[in-house]
Amino acid sequence: MPVPPDPVLRAAVRWLERLPDSGAARLRALFATHSKFSDITPTQYEAAYAWIQDTGLTDDLRSGIAAHRRVFGAAMAHSHAPWLPDADLLIRTPDELPEDALRAAASLGLSEEEAFGQLGAVWGKVDAQKRSRIGAAGELALVELLRASTKARIEHVAMWSDGFGYDIAVHTVGHSAHLEVKSTTRRSRLTVYISRNEYETACRDPQWELIAIRLTPELELEAVATIPKEWIAAQVPADSGTYGHWESCRLEVPPDVPVPGIPRIAGALTDEASVLLRGDTRGHG
């Protein structure tokens, strides 16, 4: 839903500030009769009440976060703004805040610096939720494809533990592989988050591979590729002191880096195996 009009945003704050101690019916009467609240129409108050319910703001009326900050966060998170998925790249400073974010911030009494800081938190939460949903779908899709395209034993180890440093194990004579899977629905940008445990597993495990999965918006498998270990090793940070230790990092993978398919398991593929797994390995093994 788009960012609500300014009066609806202000009305949403008034609802959230008073609902913990008063019922909705009593507040409707207050908003309709008291001159202090007459700058906003009853229709706008009702629109705001429906909006805070739709966005889940009424789920925690005793939140310790100020109402105007909660309203701004919800307005951004539920705006479906085209810039939100790439806010980490598009909005580097408060000066780059989009017009709808600036309008909402001004309406709610937030400075540009405050809005910028909160927008970063909103993007992080939205991005993490989206990555979790897409990541789970990508893993399951690859497991199904591997089972249909090989005679290997496929174990989805991430289903019972995230401590292995990889998500899927492929077991067959001479063609074992440990696959860490990263999934995306984007076509023009591949962003990979890799943990310290995953990277250290890659360093000591010759069977480890980082697999990039592209899904359609409907979460159907569209492409499979392998990101070379050598490229990963050249990009990850290095601890520079005794008391510093990186735990995770984000990699922006150029389009010419991923290798189509999963070359490591080429010899385990059946004749009917999907071309998504073969990549450029057809005829090898």
Residue 238 structure tokens = 């290095």
Say if residue 130's pLDDT is above 50.
yes
pLDDT of residue 280: 55
Task: Calculate the alpha carbon distances from 97 to 70, 94, 126 in Å.
Answer: 18, 5, 17
First CA to last CA across the chain, in angstroms? 52
The whole-chain average pLDDT of the chain stands at: 92
Neighbours of 246 (CB within 10 A): 13
Say if residue 273's pLDDT is above 90.
yes
Going by their DSSP bridges, the two strands 168-171 and 248-253 should be labelled as: unpaired
Say if residue 175's pLDDT is above 80.
no
Is residue 97 within 8 A of residue 116, CB to CB? The reply is yes
Say if residue 285's pLDDT is above 50.
no
Instruction: Kindly give the residue spans of alpha helices, DSSP state H, lying in the chain.
Output: 6-18, 24-33, 42-54, 67-77, 87-90, 99-107, 112-149, 196-204, 229-235, 275-278
Q: What gap in Å lies between CA 31 and CA 15, rounded to an integer?
A: 10
pLDDT of residue 51: 97
pLDDT in tens, 43-94: 999 999 999 999 999 999 999 899 999 999 999 999 989 899 888 888 999 9
pLDDT band at 282 (very low <50, low <70, confident <90, very high): very low
Cα-to-chain-centroid distance, residue 81: 15
Q: Which residue has the tokens 């998170």?
A: 77
Give the alpha-carbon dihedral of 198, 202, 204, 207, to 10 degrees: 120
User: Percent of the chain at pLDDT above 70?
Assistant: 98
pLDDT of residue 195: 95
Is residue 79 within 8 A of residue 3, CB to CB? The reply is yes
> Would residue 130 be called left, alpha or beta, if left means φ above 0 and alpha means ψ between -120 and 50 degrees?
alpha
The arithmetic mean of pLDDT across residues 198-216, rounded, is 96
Is residue 54 within 8 A of residue 68, CB to CB? The reply is no
pLDDT in tens, 143-169: 999 999 998 999 999 999 889 999 999
Full-model pTM: 0.72
- Least confident piece of the model among 84-88, 207-211, 263-267: 84-88
Which domains can be identified in the chain, with CATH numbers?
6-110 (no CATH), 132-278 (3.40.1350)
Q: Rounded to the nearest 5°, which phi and psi values hold at 265? A: -105, 15
Task: Calculate the alpha carbon distances from 112 to 95, 108, 120, 256 in Å.
Answer: 8, 11, 12, 38
| Rounded (5°) CA angle 255-257-262 | 110
